Structure 1
Amino acid sequence: MLTDLKTILADTREKHYAVGLFNCVTLEMTKGILAAAEELRSPVIIGPAESLLPGASLAEYADLMLGMARRASVPVALHFDHGFTPELVEQAIRLGFSSVMYDCSMLPFGENLRRTREMARLAHAAGCSLEAEIGHVGSNGSAEEAIAQTVYTDPQDALRFAAESGCDALAVAIGTAHGVYAETPRLNLDCLARIAETCPTPLVLHGGSGLSDADFRACVAGGISKINIFTHNNLAAGRAAHDHWTAERGAFELMPLVTEAVKRETAHHMRVFGSTGKA
């Protein structure tokens, strides 16, 4: 059933679990994620990010995923992740996405707050939830280089931003980065604890691919309500296609194998995040 992000995350802090956003870009990935959610009775968040739009347009992703989300037997939020371009975020709202992220985290605090507040009003008027980001989670190139440039989230800034912007979820910077890690990342769990103690808004961890299961559990225990995953599932899908391809086996024969690989990877993370049985 299609559900907004605010509803899906409502009891995560109280019951000490997190819901995964599993970015998906193909039918096989989407089917695998939803199959894992239904089998494990877990709420789930799916959808593309702006950086993934070269693969398909927002309208095409909506055509693919909205119907699947509505037919699912568990709560599903269709989320447009890391929307930097306001016109695209507004388009996602019009297309029926039940959640959007408007990422202005590279802008000064005041400008980030102003733009997020305006977009939150637009989203809420359409029954859509809005996620924002404060601090900055690095991306592109080496994850370690990105972490070195991370601006950690200040707890008091998080409280003020959430209260004044009207966002429904807030991504915070605690030492992760988008990309593949060459070395073990060092999470600032003390920073997370201070943010969670200060700010009641559901908190989001980005740059999750590459963290250990113990890292994820520590983040959930520390107050994270939503965890973003793409690289794990993307690599699982690619490996399945590579490992099972033969000159005689075409795309049609590979589709169920890719779906099953993504389902297994997603199910593992749902168990780690503690979201199983919460639907």
Structure 2
Amino acid sequence: MLYTMKDLLKVAKENKFAVPAFNISSFDILKSIIETAEETNSPVILEIHPLEIDYVGDNFVSVVQEYALRSQVPVVIHLDHGADIENVTRAIKNGYTSVMIDASHDSLEDNIAITKKVVEMAHSVNVSVEAEIGTIGNNGSSEGGSSEIIYTDPEQAIYFVKETGIDTLAVAIGTAHGLYPKDVTPKLNIQLLKELNQKLDIPFVLHGGSGNPDAEVSESVKYGVAKVNISSDVKSAFFAELSKQLVENPDVYEPFEVYTSANEAAKKVVKHKFTVMNTIGAAKYYK
């Protein structure tokens, strides 16, 4: 079942669960995520970053759409961190049901101006829009971010949402893209999130969801977070197992022999994330 982000997260927010948004950059990762969503009866968001679509190509989206349309669980196809109108237009033409425009590094005025243009264009064809206030950190991820986290200002956020008409808001409360160094323990600013949730009636998005303590992610769902972006945790598990198989079985060349255990490693992470966000079984709310 193919959904817009607006419709998907409205239900999630009302029923106090979040939907993980997994970055898909290969067929096997896509397959692992969809299979786990269906096995656990969990709604899911499949998101593609501009660098990922450059790699897999526009035709890959038709495969993603086919999976979504045939699936028995709600699925959203989302553009992750669209940097400009060109990224957004490409995503809409490819059939995404949700787009993110990320002008968070620009001035507030410029962020509002470009976001309003995207909202006008996307809403005219029933595509949802996510935008960001504040900046996410970066642990060396290709998805970008800032060397210094700028926390979301509640008053700016109120003004931004009112002026732009966005459907979901990515908030900066202490997360970073990529995997955290072993000596770093991330800490979410739950008090700030509570304040934002009191002042805004809009689903929040937590970017950089990999590596954060499960208890904090679960707590964030209580205060308006309805979408959590996951990329590095799934990919690192997938490729660690893939590397192990290739070293242990250097003569294997059939894809179904090479990738099967890597897919299972990815599926374990996906199922765990569904559990943390109270998503397992939540497809029942969309019947």
Bucket of the pairwise TM-score, normalised by the shorter protein: over 0.9
Partner residue, 1:269: 273
Quote the Cα distance in structure 1 between the aligned partners of 2:139 and 2:84. Answer: 18
Structure 2 matches for 1:151-190, cutoff 5 A?
Answer: 151-182=150-181, 183-190=184-191
Partner residue, 1:278: 282
Partner residue, 1:139: 138
**Per the alignment, in what secondary structure is the counterpart of residue 228 of structure 2?**
strand
1:109 aligns with 2:112: no
Alignment RMSD: 1.6
Quote the Cα distance in structure 1 between the aligned partners of 2:25 and 2:200. Answer: 33
Partner residue, 2:26: 26
1:123 aligns with 2:118: no
1:83 aligns with 2:54: no
Partner residue, 2:239: 238
Partner residue, 1:199: 200
- Residue 122 of structure 1, CA deviation: 0.7
Matched to 2:64, the amino acid is: M
Matched to 2:137, the amino acid is: G
Matched to 2:81, the amino acid is: H
Residue of 240, 249, 254 corresponding to 2:252: 249
**Per the alignment, in what secondary structure is the counterpart of residue 78 of structure 1?**
strand
- Residue 255 of structure 1, CA deviation: 2.4
**Per the alignment, in what secondary structure is the counterpart of residue 105 of structure 2?**
coil
Quote the Cα distance in structure 1 between the aligned partners of 2:22 and 2:272. Answer: 12
1:94 aligns with 2:93: yes
**Per the alignment, in what secondary structure is the counterpart of residue 59 of structure 2?**
helix
Quote the Cα distance in structure 2 between the aligned partners of 1:240 and 1:4. Answer: 33
Contact 1:147–1:175 at 8 Å: present in 2 too? no
Contact 2:129–2:167 at 8 Å: present in 1 too? yes
- Residue 162 of structure 1, CA deviation: 1.4
Structure 2 matches for 1:212-227, cutoff 5 A?
Answer: 212-227=213-228
Contact 1:137–1:178 at 8 Å: present in 2 too? yes
Quote the Cα distance in structure 1 between the aligned partners of 2:230 and 2:11. Answer: 21
% identical aligned pairs: 37
- Residue 73 of structure 1, CA deviation: 0.9
Structure 1 residues 99-108 or 177-186, which shifts more?
A: 177-186
Partner residue, 1:61: 60
For normalisation by structure 1, the TM-score amounts to 0.94
Q: How many residues align?
A: 275
Matched to 2:50, the amino acid is: E
- Residue 147 of structure 1, CA deviation: 7.1
Partner residue, 1:13: 13
Structure 1, unaligned stretches of length 5 or more? none
Structure 2, unaligned stretches of length 5 or more? none
Contact 1:48–1:61 at 8 Å: present in 2 too? no
Partner residue, 1:42: 42
Contact 1:32–1:261 at 8 Å: present in 2 too? no
Quote the Cα distance in structure 1 between the aligned partners of 2:24 and 2:161. Answer: 28
- Residue 141 of structure 1, CA deviation: 3.3
Q: Tell me which stretches of 4 or more aligned residues in structure 1 moved more than 3 Å.
A: none
